Structure 1
Amino acid sequence: MFLEEKSYLIMAQNSSEMLVINKLLNKNNIETDLVPAPPEWGTVCAIAVKVKGADLEKSKNLLHSAGINNAKILEDRKLKLQGLIDKKLGLAVSERFLEILKKIENGDELLREDIVYLLSTDKKREIDAIFSAADRIRKETVGDVVEIRGAIEFSNYCRKNCKYCGIRGQNSEIKRYRMTEEEIMEVVGYLHSLGLRTVILQSGEDPYWTMPKIINILRKVKETTGMRITLSIGERPYEEYAEFKKAGADNFLLKIETTNRELFKEIHPDDDFDTRLQCSKWLKELGYINGSGNIIGLPGQTVEDIASDIEFFRDMGINMIGIGPFIPAKGSPYEKLTPGDIAMTLRTVAVTRIVCKKVYIPSTTALATLSKDAQVWALNAGANTIMLINTPKKYRSSYNIYDNKNMVDLEAAVYAVRKAVNRKLPSYLKLPSYLENPDFDFAAKQEGML
């Protein structure tokens, strides 16, 4: 990560060229970073190669010598915002908060203590201003379209024993399942018929799903639908991540969950923080759209821990950030603990948007589980993605990573986006005719009246 010194972004035509450029520059002793591409570049390649201003001319010469002439170069400019501070606000907030807002307006990087302040303040006008700033940055960086993605939870077997998780290996109270390849592809076909462009293949860390089996699924999805694929299958060796990328995986979600090493060790009795960190670095190096996230309300977690998580997302150039409250799961050591706080989770969503700017932030299923309205609240706090649960009904209740999971469906997503927050659904989405009807009664449908 580069501070203060002017830097530039090299924009490749696609992810393969981006990796070639990055490797070429590193080989010639030019320090680079892989970061989310700026809004004006669109979606051609979601990752940019960042270089210091002092290395710009050498980088240009190397690209020219290698015959890479289509790459574009942009100055890495600050996102400047006007109008966050008005006279009325100045009378109702602290001087410290005004200083932080001025930084946000100017596009300056927030320090750890700034992030802690935003997460900690209990002044209503300051909290309102935080959400307003997050929503403004969301609009400026990723626009008004809420991305819709479909998830398939294809196995609930897991070799790990995370203390908060209901599918931990030692939990004997749940019914285990593995979907067949045919079942997976049937759901993929349905998602494709809706026009969805991304399918999320998620499971526990299941040894049955070996690299060849995963690769076979990846190739089938690509060959039959051309959809983008997000994998969320846990920690794997570098070689497997590399082969999954070659076979068609575009994104990978591997949550850090907490950056506090001691807390990580406590909640992951058979895991290692440095291994998780190394996996995230490998995924970034391999050119994945890199996903991470954290859990709000873990026992012993502090506001400083959450601030550290947000800094990690920023400094690692994470592209997708899932932020959800802790929810107890039956059969886990934490089953009797209190759920995480919705308000703090929403505040974390907002501050993450402010700090990380152009990233995908889902309005998580966990939030929707604690309150049906929380999904809407998260969209207003800076979130821009909704994940539909498309696991077959006969398996859904067994993917019990936490209790009473809200199975967010297409109707819930359409209601949240169009009716509740007046945002836009993606143009690729093919809605059933009844959902296109502006007079459709969502409330009555949810209550079983239609």
Structure 2
Amino acid sequence: MSDFINDEKLETMLDEAEPTAEEIDRIIEKSLNKERLSLEETATLLQADKPEWIEKIFDGARRLKSKIYGDRVVLFAPLYIGNKCINDCEYCGFKASNQDVERNTLSEEQLRQQVKAMESQGQKRSILVYGEHPDYDADFIADTVETVYDTTEGNGEIRRVNINAAPLDVEGYKKLKDVGIGTYQIFQETYHHETYQQVHPSGPKSDFEWRLTGLDRAMEAGVDDVGIGALFGLYDWKYEVLGLLEHTIHLEDEFDVGPHTISFPRINDASGINIDDKYEVNDEEFKRLVAILRLAVPYTGMILTAREDPELRDEVMEFGVSQIDAGTRIEMEGYTHADEEQNLDKEQFEIGDTRSLEEVMYELVRDGYLPSFCTACYRLGRTGEHFMEFAIPGFIKRYCTPNAILTFKEYLEDYASQRIIDEGEKLIEEKLEEIEKEDIKTELIEKLERVEDGERDLYF
């Protein structure tokens, strides 16, 4: 494995791109046919800056989301396990040189309490987050994963545990595969080499290539669900979009399957950070990059984080977002102290959306979205290459909508306020009417009745 990012190549593509209305129409139509775009085609969209061209891109992204994902939105919540770190990343509140941050690693009992607090809200999916530190090796991560899966509260359980942690060696990833992790997520932060070195002055994370190839080793170990991301605001946003696409293409070429998800957070305020605003991404640019990413990789999940405020999240959702975190607390022990104000000395960065899961659920349903806590594909082996066999042609929608309805019904039965129940039952009836295959509709109605009778964890 080696460094597959060529700065000069990506910069040249942006410099040489010459958008025309006809070419933009052709590229969008290719995406709507569920074909991944090339680097050159994506560069063309990135340089399409006329208002009418931007609106074409927005409209294409809306149509693509509707075509592949419908109005389903998958929900999850992050859980910080430990914030000790030996890196000194300029943009991170947990960097090693920050003496103001309160360091903590959850004990097993503290971890169980956080999980129970999440489950009592209705969470079913979580991503565990770790600093980079010798204490947080593969064995430690595996132990925490097993604890999360083993912790239940009433009808509540975490059914899918994803991981956001430092790159491991192949043997480390194998240990995590053995305990049943979902997606392993590594953000390159920036794909621009010079910028990368500037913002990662010391610690293991300063090794660009080791981090870049971290998901190759995960794939070699059999972890076929991986997530990539960039932290927008470190370098030119257009370049970073091409970097994410180049990473996607590399994984497809090497392993016949691209990333399961792409994340695109922007830099937020944090304790002790040292980043200027030269490459700050404004809201309009952010909407453009989300829409272009959606078109570039039509079959890949896209994660919109709680770094953004509720109003912008609502706007951006329609451009192709398939997953969001909700009810998010990123302070250490944040879920058992959910009523406290944000404290930057206890968290990695400031979040923009502090709404509870209940509030987010209500607004999603009110706006016509179908909330989903589905984990069926992961548990039935529809991951990695198998997932792409379904997702690329768009057939996954046959499974996703019924499974989303079932997990939403569980939420209505176990956790919902009356206002969500009233709106949610109407939404389920509407979704049942939209299911064209009578055999699926009949089976779904039967499963919904079983959920009402107290059964849980039913899926297609």
TM-score (norm 1): 0.69
Report if aligned partners of 1:365, 1:407 keep a CA contact under 8 Å in 2: yes
Match for residue 348 of structure 2?
401
Q: Distance in 2 between matches of 1:279 and 1:358?
A: 22
SS at match of 1:347: helix
Match for residue 58 of structure 2?
131
Report if aligned partners of 1:327, 1:339 keep a CA contact under 8 Å in 2: no
Equivalent of 2:371, from 425, 429, 437? Answer: 425
Q: Deviation at 1:423?
A: 1.2
Between 206-215 and 226-235, the greater mean CA deviation after superposition: 206-215
Match for residue 383 of structure 1?
321
1:256 to 1:116, Cα distance in 2 relative to 1, 3 A: same
Which residue type is aligned with residue 249 of structure 1?
I
Equivalent of 1:410, from 357, 378, 390? Answer: 357
Q: Distance in 2 between matches of 1:404 and 1:102?
A: 36
2:288 is the alignment partner of 1:341 = no
SS at match of 1:425: strand
Q: Deviation at 1:242?
A: 1.3
Question: Which structure ranks higher in relative contact order (CA pairs < 8 Å, sequence separation ≥ 6)?
Answer: 2
Report if aligned partners of 2:185, 2:227 keep a CA contact under 8 Å in 1: yes
Identity of aligned residues (%): 22
SS at match of 1:351: helix
Q: Deviation at 1:172?
A: 1.4
Q: Deviation at 1:376?
A: 0.8
Q: Deviation at 1:269?
A: 1.7
Match for residue 211 of structure 1?
138
TM-score (norm 2): 0.68
Higher helix content, 1 or 2: 2
Which residue type is aligned with residue 371 of structure 2?
L
1:354-381 deviations in Å (ceiling 9; x for gaps) = 111222212211222xxx3111122111
2:29 is the alignment partner of 1:113 = no
* Residue ranges of structure 1 left out of the alignment (5+ in a row): 1-92, 441-450
Q: Deviation at 1:406?
A: 3.4
Report if aligned partners of 2:183, 2:260 keep a CA contact under 8 Å in 1: no
Report if aligned partners of 1:259, 1:312 keep a CA contact under 8 Å in 2: no
2:269 is the alignment partner of 1:356 = no
Q: Deviation at 1:109?
A: 4.3
* Residue ranges of structure 2 left out of the alignment (5+ in a row): 1-19, 152-156, 252-257, 373-404, 425-460
1:183-236 deviations in Å (ceiling 9; x for gaps) = 222222343345533221112223333433322222222334462111112222
1:220 to 1:401, Cα distance in 2 relative to 1, 3 A: closer
Q: Distance in 1 between matches of 2:229 and 2:281?
A: 15
Q: Distance in 1 between matches of 2:305 and 2:148?
A: 25
2:233 is the alignment partner of 1:297 = yes
1:51-94 deviations in Å (ceiling 9; x for gaps) = xxxxxxxxxxxxxxxxxxxxxxxxxxxxxxxxxxxxxxxxxx72
Between 260-269 and 304-313, the greater mean CA deviation after superposition: 304-313
Q: Deviation at 1:294?
A: 0.9
SS at match of 2:231: strand
SS at match of 2:371: coil
Q: Moved runs in structure 1, 4+ residues, more than 4 A?
A: 105-109, 335-339, 437-440
Q: Distance in 2 between matches of 1:189 and 1:349?
A: 34
Report if aligned partners of 1:349, 1:381 keep a CA contact under 8 Å in 2: yes
Report if aligned partners of 1:155, 1:202 keep a CA contact under 8 Å in 2: yes
Equivalent of 1:269, from 177, 201, 217? Answer: 201
SS at match of 2:265: strand
Q: Deviation at 1:156?
A: 2.0
Between 186-195 and 355-364, the greater mean CA deviation after superposition: 186-195
2:169 is the alignment partner of 1:237 = yes
Which residue type is aligned with residue 104 of structure 1?
S
| Equivalences for residues 164-183 of structure 1 within 5 A | 164-183=91-110
Match for residue 312 of structure 1?
247
Q: Distance in 1 between matches of 2:304 and 2:240?
A: 21
Q: Distance in 2 between matches of 1:323 and 1:135?
A: 18
1:212 to 1:396, Cα distance in 2 relative to 1, 3 A: farther
Which residue type is aligned with residue 180 of structure 1?
S
Number of aligned residue pairs: give it: 343
2:273 is the alignment partner of 1:332 = yes
